[in-house]
A and B are shown apart, each in its own frame.
Chain A
């Protein structure tokens, strides 16, 4: 191995392993959230903002609002792999550090304060702001512009729904607190959760396809009545 290369690897080692040592030496070893907060301040806040609000301007692409990323697994994966322009921290942070910072993100940052939601108010607001694209039964809808269909929300978590309302992913408009208060976002998230598995007192909901499925079922039964008429005409045999 040439000498230059070994120097380079040494420099690499110094540059990237020192933070790990520093991270491991962090105080408050007993409180994972406090450790997570400290690590977040060190490694994440530069792009994602002190409170995860994102930093606009120069590094706007590097600062997506963390409130839309909601679950521990997704956050951990992002830290380790580094999606898109985000650097990978897989070799910078130890696994317990990554867990602590991810825990801090999911429990303290990626949380829209959603208290006091009201289901019926949520239904009203959903009809006003959301149903035009996502349909009242939250199964999504096809949109004429852009060729982007409004996604089916029937498997989304409350946090992701709330994050999407605030963030506005893709062509979806965002709804800042000046339009919908935290409490109203909570109401809409409540409604979405309810409409994901609404009771179907009338029987099979036929995948919530609405009048299209109903018309189809009516024709199936209509053809069945033709079969019945043929059967009767044969004297009820075979």
Chain B
């Protein structure tokens, strides 16, 4: 039965040759090569849960009076969008579970992207011929952050409304073109009814389609260029060692999918995320402390909290203080990420293609730079949550902020220096080991792994 169906399809599409080659495609075995798949599978869960949510979400801010099953908000005037989110949370079957899984999947999607990208960075997998795929990956990161922002800004609760206002202020602060940018993205002066349909269209059609397309490109490029491999016996620039796509790699990957799904379902079912009903409907005059963006924008929030208030004019145009930490700084971070493979070429003066990776200790400068950047972002994340940290630690938030203004430079410098020294020490230890045993350390690892 299966065979006859397969023959029927194959006689018309002539797929057998391609499928046979695909099934024999070799992927190298290393746990760190599966991190990108965690991101991919989070995205799959985002699509599945998002489709369900889109059936019930209303993308309008029309004022309505709530009379749903969440009685503490009974009789309260709110946007239709917020009412629909309450409806999803309290009345739609499994609505709250799906909503929470969607939000958790977004948080984990971004975390997985960062971990995956860190792996690429610390093993120098972005080198020729893979610069293009690095650029695709950075674009995916930006799109994922943007879509997360669009998503949690649509709920119409106090927290998301505050986030929308901050995004609006940042875009408005761009010199010269700021007002036009805000009219394109927000449709007027926030809060305005035109924003929500735009965010909705971007969130459920445009950005996911771009992400899906770019993931396709990402994987096709990997397919075409073959996967990189760590240095080791038989692992040369020309040869790839690992498991075939079918059956071993497919089964491994499928197992990972189910486990990612299980972890996200666990969070969605047992850990509350974004309790919009408690924040209340958005009201432009109300605000709350403890208002943080989702973690993947916390570093921008932190930069805005730490940056001193300096406004000045360039050629008659006001450059507000928000512009530097809110727009210029993240934009520069992404530009540096985009051009990093080319900067690395200029530093190492190595223009050859590489299919074998570097261990982090083999590239002390790059590793130190990466660690310092991560430390910088972690300090900024803390700065973005400084009021929560101050409250939990019974500290004075002003003093804490001043301390963080120092730490934001000291911690990355110290982290970079320490990681540089660790790399040097490790390299020396490896060199003496190899000299003494006359055997490659990676080969040793290979032996212990195969036992």
Contact = CB atoms under 8 A, between A and B. Distances in A.
B115 A218 contact: no
Given A136-B158, A222-B112, A202 B256 contact: no
Given A131-B158, A147-B398, A218-B111, A212 B286 contact: no
Given A204-B272, A212-B385, A215-B295, A226 B278 contact: no
A215 B148 CA distance: 13
A128 B283 contact: yes
Contacts of A211: 159, 274, 292-295, 298
B288 A209 contact: no
Contacts of A52: none
Given A142-B397, A147-B398, A214-B274, A131 B286 contact: yes
B399 interface: yes
Contacts of A219: 111, 295
A218 B295 contact: yes
Contacts of A217: 107, 267, 271
Given A228-B256, A228-B259, A221 B267 contact: yes
Interface in A202-235: 202-206, 209-212, 214-219, 221-222, 224-226, 228-230, 232-233
A216 B107 CA distance: 10
A137 interface: yes
Contact of A225 (B75, B104, B260, B298): B260
Nearest to A152: B391
Contacts of A202: 89, 96, 100, 271-273, 275
B394 interface: yes
Nearest to B97: A202
Interface in B245-267: 252, 255-256, 259-260, 263-264, 267
A143 interface: yes
Q: Which 4 A-B residue pairings sit nearest by Cβ, starting from the closest?
A: A215-B295, A141-B289, A202-B272, A218-B107
Given A120-B76, A142-B397, A229-B38, 20 more contacts: A119-B74, A120-B73, A127-B158, A127-B286, A132-B286, A142-B387, A142-B391, A145-B398, A149-B391, A149-B397, A194-B72, A200-B275, A202-B273, A210-B291, A210-B292, A212-B295, A217-B107, A222-B111, A233-B30, A233-B252
Interface of B: 29-32, 34-35, 37-38, 71-76, 89-90, 96, 100, 103-104, 107-108, 110-112, 115, 158-159, 252, 255-256, 259-260, 263-264, 267, 269-275, 278-280, 283, 285-296, 298, 381, 385-388, 390-392, 394-399, 401
